[in-house]
Amino acid sequence: MAEKRKSGASGVSSSKKRRRSLSTKLEMIQRSERGETPTEISRALHIPRSTVSTILQNKERIQERVKDSAPMQSTVTTKQNVGLNGQVEKLLFIWLEDQTQRCAPVSSGRIQEKARSLYDDLKKQHGESSNTEPFNANRGWFMQFKARANLHNIKVSDEAASADEEAARLFPETLAKIIEKGGYCAQQVFNVAETRLFWKKMPLRTDMAEEEESMPGYKAAKDRITLLLGANAAGDFKLKPLLVYRSENPKAFHGYSTAFLPVIWKSHPNVWVNKNIFEDWFNYHFVPSVRDYCSKNNLAFKALLILDNSPGHPPSLDDMHPDIQVVFLPPNTTSLLQPVDQGVIAYFKAHYLRSTFAQAIRETEKQGGPTLKEFCKSFNIYHAVKNIGEAWNEVKQPNLNGVWKKLCPDFVSDFQGFTDTVEVTNTVVEMGKELNLDIAPGDVDELLASHSEELTNEDLIEWEQQKVAEEEEDAPTVEETPPHKVLTIKVLAEAFQHLEAAMSTFEVHDPSVERSASVNRDLYNTYSCYREIYKEKKRASVQTPSDTSLSPSNSPPNTPESPIQIDPPVSSDESVPSPSSSLQSVS
């Protein structure tokens, strides 16, 4: 153990992941721009040269992150934007951006009211003597704050706008003409929308929720992500979800590649889908996936993408690809017209909660497994991503098609609504009973609704504290990089043996031969992808003499598209495990 904790040349324990603040990274970049070499910067700042090189390689991304995370592009420095008053304005800006992301218009009076309440709460938290300056959120302050914060993306009116029912009534007819003129069918018309998800939040009456309220510092349930969900109007093509989290490389992903997650992984300090992230998604994910879909379905490659007026949606999207037309919904009609907001998001979140409860049951029922509280504390973003993938798979074609009834009624034949949402809610309640939780259907409904509610002062303060405390290194250095997970021949063979042993146990003890054989067959077919990997590795391990004489430099490198890492040759007596006798008899 002492050897593992031994410090390296830099005097820092290599067993711990080092963190560099954004200011330190910016200093490295500034020194480099002044002409200092990575070695000189390393010596001056007492940071490993490999870390310096990695950060300099990611210079543009780090600078963009700093730009995105600076809420107030201030050009004027006054006493009012420092100290406690500065914290008020910083949190106020985050609240304003969140309101705008949710397409919730705000008034100047509402902003002033929010500023006063944030000041009062921060002053209570820091003590009455923390700030002797008066804070008067009057009209003059608001105009100065608006200039300091450069609120060019935020629409502020004298009165908060309500849903525009007249515009919502007229727009479907306008859209129908656009669809007819472009010759689009239901398979070529798409809609996507962002939604916030508190990925660790539990129903309010559970023991964990009560514990979070009573334990200072344990506020993991406030941790949130933003998801971009969408599909076509036919409902037969779901887009891979885009997920935005505050960290680019969470500890929970060490050993995994984000390229092979069931989501498109992006990071932003405030967990927003900004214009850069959206343009990246549009060009490198949406366009290629639609092209492939049209090709497989013998359709002309063209698409109509319908969006709301979120500030993260660049108005120039219509000029980015000649075969993709972008149409924006009229202002203040999102809640009335946007298909994904007509039940898909709520249905997805209900299934996410069910997947999380199912995982809790599986883990706590294991012999020697964790308690429910232990499970909740160990539940991390990797587990959440897996459950997001499962939940999105549960949203089926009839639901994805039916939600277009208001916007494009001609595309929908018959839709009875999300009738099985109640069933999912009841399932969660029953799962809660298995976990000895006191949950009612109303608690589940309240939790699902809370994901889209306005951020409270407590949410904003805790979010900012958590973001500062948990800031992680943008890119780990060479010595800090954990080994990637690899499916070796040995690992695969052992896994097959465990599966065969489990199925043999069912076969021996189950009086129903038909049932055990059916399960055995289904399981064998399910892990066929791993058997193909096994066979591929076996073929690579028994190369001909001429092949094995190739030098490493002449060996074919692993391609980015494949996570398989070819191992050195092993003895050829390891063959692909065969299914049990019952499976062979029914296959």
DSSP of 445-458, one letter per residue? HHHHHHTTSPPPHH
- The pLDDT score that the predictor gives to residue 197 is 92
Domain-wise residue ranges, the chain: 79-157, 165-453, 486-542+560-586
More confident residue, 460 or 80: 460
CB atoms within 10 A of CB 334: 21
229: helix, coil or strand?
strand
Across the range 59-69, mean pLDDT stands at: 65
CA nearest 93: which of 121, 78, 73, 64? 73
Position 340 confidence tier, pLDDT thresholds 50, 70, 90:
very high
354: helix, coil or strand?
helix
Find all residues with CB under 8 Å of 251, minimum gap 6, and list them: 17, 380, 472
- The pLDDT score that the predictor gives to residue 171 is 95
- The pLDDT score that the predictor gives to residue 526 is 84
Q: Is residue 130 within 8 Å of 123, Cβ to Cβ?
A: yes
341/344 Cα distance (integer angstroms): 6
Q: Which of 52-61, 154-163, 424-433, 458-467 has the highest mean pLDDT?
A: 424-433
Across the range 471-500, mean pLDDT stands at: 67
| Residue 132 one-letter amino acid | T
- Asked if pLDDT for residue 557 goes beyond 60, the answer is no
Least confident of 23-32, 224-233, 323-332: 23-32
- Asked if pLDDT for residue 295 goes beyond 50, the answer is yes
Position 542 confidence tier, pLDDT thresholds 50, 70, 90:
confident
18/10 Cα distance (integer angstroms): 12
Please measure the distance between the N-terminal and C-terminal CA atoms of the chain and give it in whole angstroms.
51
Q: Is residue 72 within 8 Å of 82, Cβ to Cβ?
A: no
| Residue 21 one-letter amino acid | S
pLDDT, tens digit, 9 for 90 and up, residues 410-441: 999 777 667 677 888 899 999 988 988 888 88
346/43 Cα distance (integer angstroms): 53
- Asked if pLDDT for residue 80 goes beyond 60, the answer is no
Task: State pTM to two decimals.
Answer: 0.66
Find all residues with CB under 8 Å of 224, minimum gap 6, and list them: 196, 197, 198, 199, 271, 463
List, edge to edge, every strand of the sheet that includes 324-328: 264-267, 242-245, 225-232, 189-197, 303-307, 324-328
Least confident of 53-67, 208-222, 326-340: 208-222
Position 209 confidence tier, pLDDT thresholds 50, 70, 90:
low
- The pLDDT score that the predictor gives to residue 534 is 82
Least confident of 345-349, 397-401, 475-479: 475-479
Share of the chain above pLDDT 90, in %: 28
| Residue 397 one-letter amino acid | Q
Across the range 293-318, mean pLDDT stands at: 91
CA nearest 1: which of 15, 22, 19? 15
Report helix, strand and coil shares of the chain as percent, to nearest 5.
55, 5, 40
More confident residue, 38 or 552: 38
pLDDT, tens digit, 9 for 90 and up, residues 231-260: 999 999 999 999 999 888 888 888 788 888
- The pLDDT score that the predictor gives to residue 379 is 92
CA nearest 412: which of 350, 335, 310, 343? 343
Q: Report residue 487: phi and psi, to 5°.
A: -90, 95
- Asked if pLDDT for residue 162 goes beyond 90, the answer is no
CB atoms within 10 A of CB 180: 10
154: helix, coil or strand?
coil
- The pLDDT score that the predictor gives to residue 231 is 97
Whose tokens are 């069931």? That residue is 262
Going by the DSSP 8-state scheme, the letter that residue 75 receives in this structure is S
- Burial grade of 575 (CB within 10 A; 0-12, 13-18, 19 or more): exposed
pLDDT, tens digit, 9 for 90 and up, residues 387-406: 999 999 999 999 899 999 99
- The pLDDT score that the predictor gives to residue 305 is 97
Token pair recorded at residue 89? 């304005």
What is the maximum span of the chain, computed from C-alpha positions, in angstroms? Answer: 83
Token pair recorded at residue 535? 């066979």
Token pair recorded at residue 95? 């609240």
- The pLDDT score that the predictor gives to residue 561 is 40
